[in-house]
A = this chain, B = another copy of it.
């Protein structure tokens, strides 16, 4: 039987507490607590009675009270720069599988690519006393102060995809630089392209910088010159890709590129639109490669060659890393930068018929 109370006129069931169970059974709250938590030193019969009463009374342990006394919330926070990009929901899915298995709750926050909102999100998570934080940097973040403060406070912190380096935090990502280089080399070696453009992400964000560096590595390894006019600033979305591509297409036609490497798939998809508007044929006139393996990539016309970034696995790995940090299970191989393997998915936008 649940005690009833009023709340603005609505009848609301008051929550059952350990104390309620104890009273009903003529026990102390400690015995009930022990029984409920499957601890030793409780008579078998007592335990049964407690469990049954708890079930009957609809008892739900109060995590809040428990957290307060244990200084442990079994909760982790995640800070995402955006939701719209397919990559992040997939990361969440990966994170969630791990948190679910390990009995952690997941608090989701969103920086909307804004440095100040990112700081606010982190502080709220601190207030919520999460046991650890998973974060992917906002595009506009340039100052690592908040991160270092968090680190100093002892709060476990793991970056994924867009990492802050040099502050001693773990990072889970793909090898953006090396994979980008391979993408460039594919464009050059296999297809003999000679003027490769790059739709460059913000270099303040690790993936923006790394993919740009990989682009330069690829050119250099093949004796191709780096040309300023073939590199155009893009954001991480379709619009940015479209505009960056358009800017390059302002060049006289004889200086147009014959290949494009976009910082990610949304940008590549925007760029494809720009190329089509300019009347260029893909891949005959120009090849294009993206990064992410967006669900739309197989459906673009022609299908987009891209780097598969295993978002689900990145999420899983980051969450595992974070929880092992929380549990202080730091193994001997205590690497701080975890690289998840990525693959070049060859479709037809680079010129390979039938994906080979």
Interface residues of A (CB under 8 A from B): 2, 7-13, 15, 58, 60-65, 67-68, 73, 75, 83-84, 86, 88-90, 92-93, 96, 100, 105-110, 123-124, 126-129, 149, 152-154, 295-296, 299-301, 328
Contact = CB atoms under 8 A, between A and B. Distances in A.
Contacts of A7: 154, 328
12 contacts: A12-B154, A60-B123, A62-B68, A75-B107, A86-B295, A88-B89, A89-B92, A96-B108, A105-B107, A106-B108, A107-B108, A295-B295
A108 B108 contact: yes
Contact of A13 (B110, B152, B300): B152
B153 A124 contact: no
Contact of A154 (B11, B83, B88): B11
B299 A64 contact: no
Given A10-B154, A13-B152, A296-B295, A92 B63 contact: no
Contacts of A61: 127
Contact of A65 (B68, B105, B149, B296): B68
B58 A153 contact: yes
Contacts of A15: 153
Contacts of A107: 75, 105-108
Nearest to A78: B108
A60 B120 CA distance: 12
B128 A105 contact: yes
A110 B100 contact: yes
B89 A129 contact: no
B13 A62 contact: no
Nearest to A105: B107
Contacts of A100: 109-110
A8 B129 CA distance: 19
A96 B15 CA distance: 28
Contacts of A8: 328
Contacts of A152: 13
A106 B62 CA distance: 18
Q: Which 9 A-B pairs have the closest CB atoms?
A: A12-B154, A89-B89, A299-B299, A83-B93, A8-B328, A13-B153, A60-B126, A63-B127, A108-B108
Given A96-B83, A127-B62, A299-B296, A328 B106 contact: no
Contacts of A299: 296, 299-301
Contact of A68 (B64, B93, B123): B64
B58 A149 contact: yes
Nearest to A100: B110
Contacts of A65: 68
A26 to B, nearest CB: 26
A355 to B, nearest CB: 16
Contacts of A10: 154, 328
Given A105-B124, A108-B96, A300-B299, A129 B84 contact: no
A10 to B, nearest CB: 7
Contacts of A83: 89-90, 92-93, 96
A105 B109 CA distance: 8
A12 B93 CA distance: 31
